[in-house]
Structure 1
Amino acid sequence: MWRFLTYMDNSGLYVGLDIGTTSIKVIVAEKVKGQLNVIGVGNEPSNGLSRGVIVDIDQAAEAIRSAVSQAQEKASIEIKDVIVSVPANILRIEDCNGLVTLDDQSREITAEDVRNVAVSALGTSLPQEREVIDIQPEEFIVDGFDDIKDPRGMVGVRLEMRGKLITGSKGIMHNLKKAVEKAGLNIISTVLTPLAEGHEILNDGEQDFGTIIIDLGGGQTTASVIHDHQLKYATTDPEGGEYITKDISIVLNTSMENAEKIKRDYGYADSLQASADNQFPVDIVGQAEPTYIDERYLAEIIEARLSQIFDRIKSRLDQVQALELPGGIVLTGGVAALPGIAELAADQFNTNVRVYIPDQMGLRHPSFTAGLSLVSYFSDISDVEMIVRSAVGATSTKVPKLTDPQDAQVPVSSKSDKPKRKTQKKKRGEGIKNFFSDFFD
């Protein structure tokens, strides 16, 4: 029997729609007694997207419909309402502050007062090309008393809110919403992918003291900084797993389809872990018989591209001192499934690194992290956060002057003596340089 899913359904059903460059994933989860259980999954190759952005609404809508259809069949529900991911490459982050004076000193602060102070935090004029995506409350202040998480029920004259305002490209957000709506779905909420992943991936201490999440996707790589349980910084690199596949295809002179299969079946991120003795066949374009290639050779191709991506990400993280945060780095996304990825990243970023893989049945691959994070985050969002987020719909014309998220200041914890890089790093780097001295621009 099919159940009809709506936002107000007391069954506690949530549907996350993760629209990625290489694949679209739909996660249906049910929350029972505080436990989130996945009951349906859809996974469809993406069409109409480039670097996380929809460039063809019709193609994207068709791919979304197909992924939703798969999830509906497995979960035995009819999906109409979805929580949609918003990629980090369109975000800008800015501090915001709100203030309201309460007209009656004797009454308690209400949800409407909280919403009003959030609306007041949407400050000055917003550039025409941008719109508010989310507002994150960091603290409320009642009559000068700060660090209040939920002021409802308190009595005061002056209510303030400090938080983070996040905006995105109006055109990109329009195309995203249009594609979802054209697929016959209703968006009940848009959720920032890095914020949702921080909630799902990191423990309380890691969110508090500061940790970097690097999502190695197919079309791009995203690095985000979670500190004080807030998204403080996000940056994207326009290269991901697709570029690794292209490199393999070009160097080995094989088709993209073969290159992708070779990467998944035999690939290592760290060439020091791959064996030069283990060989596998590769179908070469223009040749009747396959050529045998060893795993070490393939790993050097993969490592070269990953090293370039990590170098660029590291440079941006260094600018905001994020690598000084004690939580280190957590890797996820489809490329994070490559063996040796944690060792390569730890060597290159010079900090502790771990790989996150979802533990839900049927989702035990890092490519499902974003989709699972959507439903996990939204199912746990607090009442006061929902009230504050509702202010975004009240006005989209009053927000502070914005700066690029790369200019955001990230509070850091200091580390004294940094450990020296491994001697292996020098050997690895030299091998890559010699192997690809003329390959990359």
Structure 2
Amino acid sequence: MMAKRERIVGVDLGTTKIAAIIAEVDNDDLKIVGVGSTPSNGLKRGVIVNLEKAIESIEKAVDEASRMAGVKVDSCYAGISGSHIESINAHAMIATARSGGVVTKRDIERVIEQAKAIALPLDREIIHAIPIEYVVDNEKGIKDPVGMSGVKLEAEVHIVTAAITSAQNIYTALERAGLRVKDLVLQPLASSYSVLQPDEIDLGVCLLDIGGGTTDLAIFYDGAIRYSEVIPLGGEYITNDIAIGIRTPYKQAEEIKRKNASISLSDEEGKEEIKVPGIGGREDRTITKELLASIVTPRVEEILMITNKAIKRSGFFDILAAGVVITGGTARLHGLDALAEDIFHLPVKIGIPKKIGGLTDIVQDPIYATGVGLILYGFEKKNQVLIRKTRGVGVFDALKKRFEDWFTKYF
């Protein structure tokens, strides 16, 4: 009898599309065996606003991926985004537990737990606590201190928090769609697994995942994430501008954007005509690609300029030796990288997911950056025990627990 192969599932909950990717672990190698994608209903700017519609969209995407793979799946890693996401870098310090002063794995766990003991509003929870670096007896820049001699262990930790209700709605939607959530993953963190190279993460790089409803920003340096932010602007604003500018329904505007929108055009390309379907019995009409570009470009410039301000506000602009990597659906726009270089004054490239075996050609597209990244994240974490505070409990229970912790601490 053949041994049952381990499978990893990633579900990218986007504003405009939901993507499900199934991969099999084959002798410590990954192979993508199923991909499903469906228009996203019930989500707005990365947050679930209609639970039933969101569940239906998830079911469609997962069913499509399952039929392609020929398997049924019951668990997943899911992405989380939205303007409710916040992050902070926290510092913690402990004395090593073992006599003789040798740092153990338990010491690492203790110092990270100490870093997580920050004051949070009752309606928020920690979704990530990612070590940036450790300090052992004032020796800085240590990545893995286990086994080192020292009596004092310090840690700099990047902490990402989310609204408990938003996180719980994702759990509820996925669980009602038949999927147990192994972990919620910040979407730009997931995307970094699929589009960034180790040398970029070491040198200093900014990852921009420009999706339908949000632009997710993450800055990496010296092998670790240093800053993250979610900006509530994305490709749907470009689509709205097209719909208004050429007087066509949103669905048609999205199709025109996907097939024809460009920022950089030659004179010859600018004269090419695009058919705009008539509505309400009206005849079809045509516009030029130059007119479409004149609608699209100002909004893209606005998104990039707001993002540029966010990068400079982070305090890490000067360390971005590897520049900026842009991924997500909006990264498909021809000429986006050149425009971004003019605005950021940094080298820019478009991030395409890494080839990891199996149905690679299907996912060689920026729109699948988060989905493929969730697979790679799950592959790295598959042997770790992941515990979520709100898993399996209601929002009221989570809020009650937070209040009890606060009351005990101060009274």
Same fold? TM cut 0.5: yes
Scaled to the shorter chain, the TM-score interval is: 0.7 to 0.9
SS in 1 for 2:99: coil
1:304 to 283, 298, 308: 298
The one of 179, 182, 187 aligned to 2:173: 179
- Deviation, 1:367, is 0.6
Shift in CA distance, 146/243, structure 1 to aligned 2, threshold 3 Å: closer
What is the CA-CA distance between 1:306 and the residue it aligns to?
0.9
Q: Distance in 2 between matches of 1:364 and 1:122?
A: 37
CA 1:63–1:107: 2 relative to 1, 3 Å:
same
Contact 1:197 1:373 in 2 (8 A): yes
Quickly say closer, same or farther: Cα 1:391–1:171, change in 2 above 3 A. Answer: closer
CA distance in 1, matches of 2:209, 2:93: 36
Match of 1:15 among 9, 17, 26: 9
2:185 paired with 1:191: yes
2:330 is aligned to: 335
- Describe the shift of the 1:142–1:391 C-alpha distance in structure 2 as closer, same or farther (beyond 3 A): farther
Deviation, structure 1 residue 101: 3.4
Distance 2:247 2:2 in 1: 49
Name the SS for the 1:275 alignment partner.
helix
1:56 paired to 2:29: no
1:90/1:288 CA distance change after superposition, 3 Å: closer
Distance in 2 (alpha carbons) for counterparts of 1:166 and 1:248: 35
1:361-402 superposed Cα distances (whole Å, 9 cap, x missing partner): 21122111111011112313497xx57x75979998589xxx
Match of 2:346 among 335, 347, 351: 351
Separation in 1 of the partners of 2:68 and 2:3? Answer: 12
Q: Identity over the aligned pairs, expressed in percent?
A: 32
Query: 92, 97, 105: which one pairs with 1:98?
Result: 92
Conserved 8 A contact 1:224-1:233: yes
In the alignment, the residues of structure 2 paired with residue 113 and residue 393 of structure 1 have an alpha-carbon distance, to the nearest angstrom, of 25
How far apart in 1 are the matches of 2:38 and 2:301?
29
CA distance in 1: counterparts of 2:267 and 2:83, whole angstroms: 33
1:227, 1:273 → 2: CA distance? 41
Deviation at 1:140, TM superposition (A): 3.2
Counterpart Cα distance in 1 of 2:375 and 2:249: 37
Instruction: Name 1:38's counterpart in structure 2.
Output: 32
Give structure 1 stretches of 5+ with no counterpart: 5-10, 400-441
1:161, distance to aligned residue in structure 2 (A) = 2.9
Residues 107, 155 of structure 1: 8 Å contact kept: yes
- 1:362-377 aligned within 5 A: 362-377=362-377
Asked whether the equivalents of residues 115 and 390 of structure 1 are also in contact (C-alpha less than 8 Å), the reply is no
Q: For the Cα contact (< 8 Å) 2:12–2:79, is it kept in 1?
A: yes
- TM-score, structure 1 normalization: 0.79
1:279 aligns with 2:261: no
Distance 1:319 1:148 in 2: 27
How far, CA to CA, are the matches of 2:84 and 2:60 in structure 1? Answer: 26
* Alpha carbons 2:58, 2:177 under 8 Å: kept: yes
How do 1:203-218 residues align onto structure 2 when only pairs under 5 Å count? 203-218=197-212
- Distance in 2, matches of 1:167 and 1:393, equals 13
> Is residue 133 from structure 1 mapped to residue 127 from structure 2 by the alignment?
yes
1: CA distance between counterparts of 2:264 and 2:307?
Answer: 18
Q: Is structure 2 residue 76 aligned with structure 1 residue 82?
A: yes
Larger displacement relative to structure 2 (371-380 or 100-109)? 100-109
Code of the residue aligned with 1:199 in structure 2: it is Y
Q: Check the 8 A contact 1:194/1:231 in 2, yes or no.
A: no
Q: 1:7-46, CA deviations, whole angstroms, 9 ceiling, x for partnerless residues?
A: xxxx442111111111111111223345322111111211
Partners of 1:165 and 1:341 in 2: how far apart?
Answer: 31
Q: How much does 1:100 deviate?
A: 3.6
Label 1:35 to 1:291 Cα distance change in 2 as closer, same or farther (>3 A): same
Deviation at 1:347, TM superposition (A): 2.1
Shift of 1:97: 3.1
Distance across 1 between alignment mates of 2:17 and 2:45: 12
Shift in Å, 1:143: 4.5
1:112 and 2:106 matched:
yes
> RMSD between aligned alpha carbons?
3.0
Distance 2:266 2:223 in 1: 36
Conserved 8 A contact 1:198-1:226: no
Code of the aligned partner of 1:351: L
Partner residue, 1:361: 361
Maintained 8 Å contact 1:214/1:223: yes
Distance 1:90 1:281 in 2: 39
8 Å contact 1:131–1:170 — kept in the other structure? yes
The one-letter code matched in structure 2 to 1:333 is G
- Give 1:103 shift: 4.6
Q: Post-superposition shift, 1:257?
A: 2.5
Contiguous gaps of at least 5 residues in structure 2: 392-397, 407-411
Go from structure 1 to structure 2 and tell me whether the alpha carbon gap of 1:348 and 1:140 turns closer, same or farther (over 3 Å shift). closer
Contact 1:212 1:329 in 2 (8 A): yes
Displacement of 1:51: 0.4
* Structure 1 residue 155: Cα displacement: 5.4
CA distance in 2, matches of 1:144, 1:169: 36
Q: Could you tell me which residue of structure 1 aligns to residue 409 of structure 2?
A: none
Q: Report the Cα offset of residue 229 of structure 1.
A: 2.6
Mean Cα deviation higher: 58-67 or 224-233? 224-233
3-state SS of paired residue (2:363): coil
1:241 match: 235
Equivalent residue letter for 2:223: H
Deviation at 1:189, TM superposition (A): 1.2
Per-residue deviation at 1:217? 0.9
